[in-house]
Chains A and B, each alone.
Chain A
Amino acid sequence: MTTVVSAQNLGLTFPTGDGDIVALSDVNLTIEKGDFVSFIGPSGCGKTTFLRTIADLEKPTSGSLTVNGLSPEEARRNRAYGYVFQAAALYPWRTIEKNIALPLEIMGHSAQEQAERIKRTMELVNLSGFEKKYPWQLSGGMQQRASIARALSFDADLLLMDEPFGALDEIVRDHLNSELLKLWARTEKTICFVTHSIPEAVYLSTRIVVMSPRPGRVTDIIESTLPKERPLDIRETPEFLAIAARVREGLRAGHSYDEGNQ
């Protein structure tokens, strides 16, 4: 096993006019290659901040963090990860295939290689046939698939996903969740997935990191005992419900259900 992300005593404090906000405090976590790790917790628990710190979109103020054994900035410059944001953030003046080509253009791939990769990743997310459409001609679910294809197109081993399905309705979300699992199995990538849905976290992950707010910290890390092959109805099995109960317990232990934390 190779370690992809390793955080030791990681802390991040945002100074504001109203005093400092401790977004992350004393986070210790190791993510191995091939893991599917979900981060769950109420808003303000630092799950998105942690993901952004891995992506070098935020700088930690204490502790150490390595990505593929390098600093987050070096890893970013090596294009070590693909990032999927809450919103699809597709550029409206580009067609879907041109949006997927965007990172490839920036990274200097040849036109022929771009075409091959676009074709492959669009098949991977089941979006073939929509190459020439503009983002605003597609539904929210399809836009988010295109943004996943864009993050996959340059073949980074690490995929960082920040509540990618948060804005979608439950039916579309279920469908995309099961597709994401298949995609993960096929590509053998390491995935970090931020969510605030307990069923989503339990259904997808090999490990679930439970976080709580004020200060943002890790309260529990749960290893999933579910098999790698997961049909959607696995969510009714006692094993699944037991893990979900442990997540809920972890959230309660972090006072995430207290009044004033809602």
Chain B
Amino acid sequence: MNRTGLTAMQLALALLAGGAALLGLGFGFSSFGTAPLLTLYFALGAASLVRLALPFSLWFDGALMLFGAVALILALPAEGAMPAHFWWALVASWAFAWLFVERLSAAIRQGQLPETGTGLVIPIIFGLALLVAWEVITRGANVPPVLLPPPSAIWARMTAEVPTLWADFVQTFIKSVLPGYAMGCLAGLIVAIAVDRSPFLKAGVMPIGNFMSALPIIGIAPIMVMWFGFDWQSKAAVVVAMTFFPMLVNTVAGLNAASAIERDLMHTYAANYWQTLMKLRLPAAGPFIFNALKINSTLALIGAIVAEFFGTPIVGMGFRISTGVGRLAIDLVWAEIAVAAVAGSAFYGVIALIERGVTFWHPSVRGGRT
């Protein structure tokens, strides 16, 4: 800490931000009129160097970060690469963003700001900063859209193609992923209980399960298409094959999670097998089962999309991605990827929320000791 109220790291970032703005102002002096907003930003950014003598609030850094991003995106030329001195605006804006997040998290740590709400601001800023940098670099450096389209083009394509994207989502997620996931997880759970009960099955099924998990999805997908046809049934079958094994292994491990004393207790009550299973072993296996459900939620989506590469009706996320690449409609591919990422995260999030509700008692959820 010093007179400016900043740490060495923050001070370096402040100098970088102010310095970059000053350079931008200098190099862009000749083209004053072309981008008045950006010039104003450079001027304000350079003026921020007075903080060396006169400390100011972290919210100024936040405002400068936001102003810089908006001014830069508005100033981007519609065609061709942007003038060289615009890069200084990107550097300055990035440095202001970093500085703002640094100071914000420090303020939260020291208890000057409440944790709820502000804690969410940091990842949002991080994500937006990434998008802005992506936009500015692809458009500013004139990157061919076939290599990487700017987020604005992807967004435009998404809004224009809502019916197509929705149809693909229904085909892949609602028709293939959900039924396949439900069947695969349920089958894994039931087989795990059977395996746990019978030593013969344990010796016989577990190696086969191991073998199944080692099967490459690329290999089984075309076979499933031959067996179950082009429509969603073959994709659901691939998802079943992918989700079955994680559930089997986790549940078998989870059924042994109850402690010796907890089992002895059931024995002293002369409880039968099913009572012990329902009242002790399955609840104790809960954290393991939810672990498998979470792993499977992302595996299922990957499986369904990849399976669609090997023959589908003319709808589905995987189909759209594979044909989109072929037709060089890369923005549509990215739009599908965005939909898949959002759907996958939401699916995972829902399972994680249910987990918190069901295994609330587990130390990892309630944050306590055993």
Give the residues in chain B near A91, CB-CB below 8 Å. 262, 279-280, 283
Asked if A76 and B270 sit within 8 Å, CB to CB, the answer is: yes
Give the residues in chain A near B215, CB-CB below 8 Å. none
Quick one: given A89-B259, A93-B283, A136-B368, are A83 and B270 in contact (CB under 8 Å)?
Answer: no
Q: Does B131 contact A (CB under 8 A)?
A: no
Asked if A134 and B265 sit within 8 Å, CB to CB, the answer is: no
Asked if A89 and B269 sit within 8 Å, CB to CB, the answer is: no
Give the residues in chain B near A92, CB-CB below 8 Å. 361-362
Complex CA–CA separation, A134 to B370 (angstroms): 12
Asked if A93 and B269 sit within 8 Å, CB to CB, the answer is: no
Give the residues in chain A near B360, CB-CB below 8 Å. 93
Q: Secondary structure of the B side of the interface?
A: helix
Asked if A89 and B261 sit within 8 Å, CB to CB, the answer is: yes
- C-beta contact mask, B345-370 vs A, less than 8 Å → 1, else 0? 00000000000000111110010111
Complex CA–CA separation, A106 to B270 (angstroms): 8
Complex CA–CA separation, A102 to B271 (angstroms): 10
Give the residues in chain B near A83, CB-CB below 8 Å. 264-265, 268
Q: Does B109 contact A (CB under 8 A)?
A: no
Q: Does A55 contact B (CB under 8 A)?
A: yes
Q: Secondary structure of the A side of the interface?
A: loop
Give the residues in chain B near A93, CB-CB below 8 Å. 283, 286, 359-361
Chain A residue nearest to B369 in the complex (CB): A136
Q: Does A165 contact B (CB under 8 A)?
A: no
Q: Does A50 contact B (CB under 8 A)?
A: no
- C-beta contact mask, A51-64 vs B, less than 8 Å → 1, else 0? 00001110000000
Interface size of B in residues (CB-CB distance below 8 Å): 25
- C-beta contact mask, B304-330 vs A, less than 8 Å → 1, else 0? 000000000000000000000000000
Q: Does B197 contact A (CB under 8 A)?
A: no
Asked if B264 and A103 sit within 8 Å, CB to CB, the answer is: no
Asked if B361 and A106 sit within 8 Å, CB to CB, the answer is: no
Asked if A106 and B275 sit within 8 Å, CB to CB, the answer is: yes
Choose one: B268, B271, B361; the contact of A134 (CB below 8 Å): B361
Residues 61 to 104 of chain A near chain B (Cβ within 8 Å): 76-77, 79, 81-83, 85-87, 89, 91-93, 102-103
Q: Does A171 contact B (CB under 8 A)?
A: no
Quick one: given A93-B283, A106-B275, A134-B361, are A85 and B261 in contact (CB under 8 Å)?
Answer: yes
Chain A residue nearest to B280 in the complex (CB): A91
Complex CA–CA separation, A106 to B266 (angstroms): 9
Give the residues in chain B near A136, CB-CB below 8 Å. 361, 363, 366, 368-370
Chain A residue nearest to B368 in the complex (CB): A136
Supplied contacts A89-B265, A106-B279, A136-B369, 4 more A-B pairs, CB within 8 Å: A76-B268, A89-B259, A92-B361, A93-B286
14 contacts between A and B (CB under 8 A): A77-B270, A81-B268, A83-B268, A85-B261, A87-B261, A89-B261, A91-B262, A93-B283, A102-B269, A106-B279, A107-B269, A136-B361, A136-B366, A136-B370
Residues of chain B touching chain A, judged by Cβ–Cβ distance below 8 Å, are: 259, 261-262, 264-271, 275, 279-280, 283, 286, 359-363, 366, 368-370
Please provide the 4 A-B residue pairs with the shortest distance between their CB atoms, ordered closest to farther: A92-B361, A93-B361, A89-B261, A83-B268
Residues of chain A touching chain B, judged by Cβ–Cβ distance below 8 Å, are: 55-57, 76-77, 79, 81-83, 85-87, 89, 91-93, 102-103, 105-107, 134, 136
